[in-house]
Structure 1
Amino acid sequence: MSETTGLEKAVGAYLDHLAVERGLAANTLASYRRDLRRYLDFLRDAGRAEPTDITEGDVTTFLRSLREGTETYPPLGTSSAARTVVAVRGLHRFLCREGMTVADPAGSVRPPTPPRRLPKAIPLDQVERLLEAASVGDGPRALRDRALLEFLYGCGARISEAVGLDRDDIDLEAGTVLLRGKGSKDRIVPVGSYARDAVEAYTVRGRPVLLEAGKGTPALFLNARGGRLSRQSAWSVLRAAAERAGLAATVSPHTLRHSFATHLLDGGADVRVVQELLGHASVSTTQVYTLVTVEQLREVYAAAHPRAQG
């Protein structure tokens, strides 16, 4: 058995520090251990055995190897590479703080910026298929499910905002709802006629039946026991409807919210109006959706313009 190097002992001390003093979760700790194992293998191949042997060039070369891959390790995506560099930088800060090294070779190395992922929206015809699949029958839960999904798409609400609603938060006569967003930021959003009709049908014919099974709650959307519908249960409603509509592979908890925003922008809505409706603190967050519409325009142009392609 080969003797443990000073570098391996240093990494072991850092992992102990993360586990004991910082109390990292088991899964996070496992990720750090895996990332630093890759770093150790790289340094061993480079002939580095002690913490003081490592240079900034080593760290930079290691970062490049994360994206390009090696004979031993496959290339990593941007987010995985960024996580690994965070682990490496944390290790070197720890070594400096504990006096095992004088300089920090990773101090000026920054993780790669993850690319902005385009939100996944589905076309209107698929939204309509999903909403139709939500209500199987005319029972109280079917009425609730249709109202829930119509509301999510009609208002662009997060699932957590929908299940957090109380009956008095929605004014069906005025066609508005009070949503409580992230950071306790409230906003008033219009409720479209389809969502309004579905919620009204549920509150008149469905909610009173579900309410009888519980002890009384102000929640708008109720479960079968008469209590507030959970976020997990709401996601199950969406998933079940997606499966019935044949859309299971393309639907996630945020799909209707993304579709709401994308369809508004496709219809000519101003991005700042959509920002307010979504409850985004910054318009730059909302502008990600404009990338979707640009991609759609590019596809249509490429397919329809006679001189778009050679």
Structure 2
Amino acid sequence: MALPPPPTEIPLSEAVERYLESCRRRAMIRRLSAATVGNYTVDLHRFLELLPAAGEHTTESVTGSHVDEALLAYANTADHRRKPAPGEQVEDPRKRMATTDADAKAPGSTLRMRRSLSRFFAYCVEQSWATVSPMRTSEMEPKDQGKLRVERTSLDLAQAQALLTHGPGDAASNPHHDRDAIALGLMGVLGLRAGEIVAADADHFTRATPITPASVQVYGKGRTWRTVPVPPWLEDLIVAYRGRLGADAPAPLLLSPTGRRLAVRDIERLLERAVKRTRAADPDRARAVVPHGLRHTAATLMLAEGWDVKVVAQLLDHSSVNTTSQYLDELPGELSVAVNAHPLTPVQT
């Protein structure tokens, strides 16, 4: 039996750029989301910064111990979401070293970096740039991701209602209040991902008929399309918004002030501004939240209302109900209410 030909070694930095270019091409045909490509770009460039003598490495010379050394250095950098202390000078918050365990990267962040590396080195093997992936001998694999930070967890019903009510603002305070109201509804009520919202075009939206509800076609994370029903109040917002833009408006469902397609970061900023408006109007019910936290909100509130978990899984584009169950955050007082309503509770006479 003939042995396979030796790999065609190329410089590691060149392999990273060729892999990222492949990812960008796949994003153009929606095989990957733009946000995923952005994560890969950040992670792989950071890996090259942390890998000792990265400029001397080829795709074949990197070993599992090299990967572990870079991952360990990454895990010991500070979580860039933490704001610097007063007077602290930081040129690049992503490169600041942690001073305490609490300040260090969350295990989930290191796990994401490891997954990005696994996909990259698997691609190197596929392209015959390496014999085997060094990830096969890497030992540093975080298992415990810990609790989600508060902004990624579900809002309770009152907080969600306050955000939908006050978050968009009005025509006087926010010229894009109708667009923002649609985005908040798609995330907080229907549980759409930020990437799914920015990828939606106007012709993906279908108005209701006497026999079918309004709906939007969504291209999901698993590179599949699904039909998501749209409630009447959200349909009215979309129809009015697109009517205001006019028939010659660009294809994306939601537009930036300059008429371009929104990016995921635009959705994040939109939500940050919505939280600020809610805090100003109703501080007792305002709470910081990120887009994924609104996805948790949609799932948690639907399941708390007694929706079948299979229906919720279908709405959120989950292949398994086990994934959906991970989105169920405990609502304040929910456990107490459930216990008090237990069917074996003695009847008071």
Residue number among 234, 244, 259 corresponding to 2:297 in the alignment:
259
Q: Is the 8 A contact 1:239 1:248 kept in 2?
A: no
| 2:228 counterpart of 1:186 | no
Q: Is the 8 A contact 1:175 1:192 kept in 2?
A: yes
2:107 corresponding residue in structure 1: 79
User: Which has a greater percent of helix?
Assistant: 1
Rate the CA distance shift 1:167–1:20 in 2: closer, same or farther, 3 A.
same
Residue identity matched to 1:113 = K
Q: Is the 8 A contact 1:264 1:274 kept in 2?
A: yes
Deviation digits for residues 5-41 of structure 1 (CA, Å, limit 9, x no counterpart): xxxxxxxxx83368732599xxx9995463799xxxx
Could you tell which deviates more after superposition, 110-119 or 122-131?
A: 110-119
2:57 corresponding residue in structure 1: 20
Separation of aligned partners in 2, 1:36 and 1:120:
23
| 2:318 counterpart of 1:280 | yes
Q: Identity of aligned pairs, percent?
A: 28
Residue number among 174, 180, 196 corresponding to 1:161 in the alignment:
196
Matches within 5 A, 1:41-52: none
Quote how far apart the aligned CAs of 1:157 are: 0.6
Rate the CA distance shift 1:148–1:140 in 2: closer, same or farther, 3 A.
same
| 2:143 counterpart of 1:113 | yes
RMSD: 4.2
1:65 corresponding residue in structure 2: none
Gaps (5+ residues) in structure 1?
1-13, 38-71, 91-105
Q: Is the 8 A contact 1:78 1:112 kept in 2?
A: no
Deviation digits for residues 179-231 of structure 1 (CA, Å, limit 9, x no counterpart): 001131111111112222221221222x23xx87xxx5211101111121222
Aligned to 2:300, the other structure's residue is in SS state: helix
Residue identity matched to 2:303 = L
Rate the CA distance shift 1:225–1:294 in 2: closer, same or farther, 3 A.
closer
Quote how far apart the aligned CAs of 1:82 are: 7.3
TM-score w.r.t. structure 2 length? 0.54
- Structure with larger Rg: 1
Quote how far apart the aligned CAs of 1:297 are: 3.5
Residue identity matched to 2:107 = S
Q: Is the 8 A contact 2:68 2:139 kept in 1?
A: no
Matches within 5 A, 1:1-310: 15-16=52-53, 20-22=57-59, 31-32=70-71, 34=73, 79=107, 111=141, 113-115=143-145, 117=147, 120-133=153-166, 134-137=168-171, 141-173=176-208, 174-205=213-244, 207-208=245-246, 216-246=249-279, 249-290=287-328, 292-293=329-330, 297-300=334-337
Gaps (5+ residues) in structure 2?
1-50, 77-98, 119-135, 280-284
Rate the CA distance shift 1:117–1:275 in 2: closer, same or farther, 3 A.
farther
Separation of aligned partners in 2, 1:230 and 1:108:
35
TM-score w.r.t. structure 1 length? 0.60
Q: Is the 8 A contact 1:131 1:150 kept in 2?
A: yes
